Structure formats: C-alpha cells, structure tokens
Structure 1
Amino acid sequence: MQKIAFLGLGHMGAPMARRLLAAGYPLTVWNRTPQRAGPLVAEGAVPAGSPAQAVRDADVVLTMLAGPDALAAVAEDVVPQLRPGVVWVEMSTVGPDAVRELAGRLKDGTVLVDAPVTGSTDRAAAGTLGILAGGDTTGVEQILARLGSVTRTGPSGSGAALKLVLNTALIGGVGIVAESLRLADALGVDGETAREALAAGPLGGAVGRAFADGVLFANDLAAKDLRIATGVTRLPVTEALLDHFGPIADDPAPARADLARAVTLIREGHR
C-alpha cells in the first residue's frame, strides 16, 4: 500500500488520519504540537519530528493545516525532500492563490491535488466528508474514498476556490441567523418562537448549523476564510460579517469555539 505522510492533526486532521491508519496504510504523522500525535502513534502511526522527516519516504502527502501561512511554512520544509512521483493532496481551506503558490514551488513530476473538505469533525470520524478535488486524483482515489465522497471540480485550484465559496455562504448564513435573533430580542419576540420560524423558512439549513452540537468549525478559522474571500473581490456583505467574526476571532476564549458560540455573542452585541 502507498506510504502516506499526514501533516496537521487538529480537530479535522486527527480523525482523518485515524481512518487511513485503520485501513492499513503505512502512516507517518506530524503536527506542530507534537502531543497531538500521541494517540495515533499509540495506534501504530510513525511520528516525525518535522514535516521534512515525515515526507522523506512518502508516496502520498496529505496536509490539513490552519491556513495559507501554515501551508507556506510546511512547504518550505517539505518541498526539497519530496521524491519523484509523489502526490501531494492539499486538504486545508487556504484559497486558490495559496494552491497556485504551492504548485509553483513543486518539482517536476510531483502531482498536486487540492481537495478541501465539507463537513465537520463528526463526518471526518465517520469517513463521510465531501471532498472537493481539483486536479488529477488518479493516484489517490482509494485513499480519498476512505475519507468521504469525491466531487471533481476541475483543474488544480478549483477545489480550493469552491470551498471558499461554500464557507463564505455558510458563515454568512449563520451570521444572518444570529442578527435575526438579535432583532427578535430587540422587538420582544420570544427567542424560541423566532428560531422555529426561521428554521421553517429559507434559512432553515443555516439555523440548523447555527445551533449544531458536537461539531467544530472554529470562529478564528471562519474569520480567516472571510478574510481570504474579501481579498479576492469586493464583497460588502462578507466584509460586514467580519465586523462580527473578526473581534470574536481575536478573543482567545471564543476564537477556538464553534460557530454556534458566535451566534450567542452576536446576539448579545459582542464587540
């Protein structure tokens, strides 16, 4: 079986790596905080002290990192160590510019697939993520199938672009739900009645996500995605959303909490 290096063992990366390990793939793991690798090492993964060490014998490299800066730092360490023919599957939410920059760093013969995912920690653990794959997935189809269902989006960079579109819509919907409930509070409308009415309308999906339990899309990552999106083109509504999510992401306590926590803070007028 192909030797896999998995870089980034956060809330999403760890359950994804665990599924590959359970499927029998030889797995080397690295994380910026080494302690996060401990449970996977106990289950049979090989720990690496650096990204470069992790990829030296790899046939496939998977990255699930916090954002463009983290990806650039890892690439600086990894690229000189890649063997000819390696497939790099970039699964973070970093935007198409970061994917193009990574492609420009790679040696001839290295295949890059951008494959960010939809779904949260529960779907990562269950292997039911939606995978938005840009580029040629021929060499990694069986690996990706262990993680979820693949939608081929087009050439390299297209998966990252579509993920940014979807996340912007998701965060926007949650923000609108939060402000609608704040308006209901200001008007004296019963909160539960307002929530049920919103859930029965066109914002139903956003209401469900706004009050989801047992999943994690951290507020600081949401703010990161909005900043990437607003750097691409003028998006006045999304820029306004940053007025909410930016301060929340700068506050250490709620920054790593789920979007559902942001709903409460927005409703209370957090600044």
Structure 2
Amino acid sequence: MEKIAFLGLGHMGAPMARQLLGSGHPLTVWNRTAAKAEPLVAGGARLAASPAEAVRDADVVVTMLAGPAALDAVADAIVPELRPGVRWVEMSTVGPDAVKELAARLKDGVTLVDAPVMGSTDRAAAGQLGILAGGETAAVEHVLARFGTVTRTGPLGSGAALKLVVNAAVLGGVALVAEALVLANALGLDEDTARTALAGGPIGGAVGRAFAEGVHFETALAAKDMDLATSVARLPAMEAVSAHFRRAAADPATAHADIAQAVARIRNF
C-alpha cells in the first residue's frame, strides 16, 4: 500500500487527515504542535518528529498549512527528502504564485498537484469538501476522493487561483452582510426582520455564513486570503473587505475566532 504523509493538523488538517485513517494506507502525520496529533496517533497514525522524517518514506505527501510562509518553511525541510515518483498534494490556500515557485524547487520525478478545498471544518469532518485540483491529478485522485468531491480545474496553479476567487467572494459577501445590517440599524429597522429578508434574497448564503456556528474559518487566515486576492488585481471593493478583516485579525479577541465573530467587529467599525 502507498504510504501517505500528512503535514499540518490545524482546524482543517486534523479532520482531513482522519479521513485517511480508514483508507488502509499507512499514515504518518506531522504538526508543529505535536499534541494536536494525539487523536490521530490513537487512531493508528504514526507521528513524525519533523517534516523531513514524515516524508522520507512517503509515496504521497499532503500539506495543509496556514499560508505561503508556512509552506515555504516546510518545503525547505522536505524538498531534499522527496524521492522520484513521490506525488505532493498541496492543499493550503497560498495562491498560484506560491504553487509555481514550489514546483520550480522540486527535483525531476516529483509530481506536484495543487488542491485547495472549499468548505469548513464541518464538511472536512464529514469527508464532504469540494476539492479544486490543478495539475496532473490522475495519480492522486483516489486520495483526494477521501476528502470530498474533486473538480479538475486545469493546469498546475489553477486550483490555487480558483480558491482565491471563491474565498474572495465568500468573505466579500460576509462583510457586505455585516454592513447591510449597519444600514438596517441606521434606518431604524428591526434587526431580525432585516436579517430574515437578507437571508431570503440572493445573498442568503453569505447571511448563513456570517452567523454560522460549529464551523471554523480563522479570521487571521481570512485576512491572509484577502491580501493574496487583492495583490493580484485592482479590486477596490475587495480592498475595503480586506481592510475589514485585517482590523479584525489585529484584535486578539477575534484574530483566531471564526469569521462569524468578525461580523460584530466589522459592524462596530
């Protein structure tokens, strides 16, 4: 059986790695905070002491990290250890430039696929994420299918690019809901009535996400994603949204909370 290494056991990575425990593949995991791996180890995974150790014998490497800086640091450790024939599935939200830079660092014979995900922690735990997969995906689709439904997006980097588009739209919608409720308050409207009307309109999905419970999309990571998106093109409305999330990420009370907690911060700006 192929040996799989999974690096990055945060709010998304841990439930995703758990989907691999029942696959029959030997699973090695690594996380900067080793304690987060304990439930997976109890379920049969092996804990590696370092990223290099995790990938040394792996056939498939999966990374789910916080952002470009974390990916770069892990790449420094594991690129020298990757053998020809290894497939690396990069699932973090890092943007297409980071994916292309990573590809340029790899040795001949190592295949890179970018496959960021759509969905939050609840869908990760259920194995129902949407996978946006760019590059030569055929050799890893059996692994990707453990996480959810795979959409092939095109050449390497296209999955990472589409993820920025999706996240910018989601975060823009959430911020717009927050400001719409500021307007409702200024007009003297009952908030529950205004919220119900918004939920029944075209922006209903963003209303649901703005007040969701039991899911986790860290506000600091949302700010990172908006910065990535607004660095690619001139997006005046999205730049305002990005500023909202940066302010929320700078507040210790909301930085590591779900983006639903940032809604109150945006409304009080």
Amino acid aligned to 1:232: V
Q: Does 1:69 align with 2:69?
A: yes
Contact 1:182 1:266 in 2 (8 A): no
2: distance between equivalents of 1:138 and 1:241? 37
Q: Does 1:196 align with 2:196?
A: yes
Amino acid aligned to 1:108: D
Deviates more, 1:97-106 or 1:238-247: 238-247
* Local SS of the residue matching 2:254: helix
1:205: which partner in 2? 205
1:265: which partner in 2? 265
Contact 1:7 1:29 in 2 (8 A): yes
Amino acid aligned to 1:54: A
* Local SS of the residue matching 2:108: coil
User: How much does 1:263 deviate?
Assistant: 1.1
User: How much does 1:253 deviate?
Assistant: 2.1
Structure 1 unpaired stretches of 5+: none
User: How much does 1:38 deviate?
Assistant: 1.1
Deviates more, 1:156-165 or 1:35-44: 35-44
Amino acid aligned to 1:247: R
User: How much does 1:243 deviate?
Assistant: 2.2
User: How much does 1:264 deviate?
Assistant: 1.5
2:256: which partner in 1? 256
> Equivalences for 1:170-189 in 2 at 5 Å?
170-189=170-189
1: distance between equivalents of 2:168 and 2:215? 18
* Local SS of the residue matching 1:153: strand
Q: Does 1:15 align with 2:15?
A: yes
Q: TM-score under structure 2 normalisation?
A: 0.98
> Equivalences for 1:217-256 in 2 at 5 Å?
217-256=217-256
2: distance between equivalents of 1:28 and 1:84? 19
**Segments of 4+ moved more than 3 angstroms:** none
Contact 1:85 1:109 in 2 (8 A): yes
* Cα offsets for 1:66-91 (capped at 9, x unmatched): 00000000000000000110000000
Q: TM-score under structure 1 normalisation?
A: 0.98
Task: Report the aligned-residue RMSD.
Answer: 0.8
1:146: which partner in 2? 146
Contact 1:168 1:226 in 2 (8 A): yes
Amino acid aligned to 2:243: D
Structure 2 unpaired stretches of 5+: none
User: How much does 1:251 deviate?
Assistant: 1.5
Aligned residues: 269
Contact 1:4 1:26 in 2 (8 A): yes
Give % identity.
Answer: 71
2: distance between equivalents of 1:105 and 1:221? 25
Amino acid aligned to 1:130: G
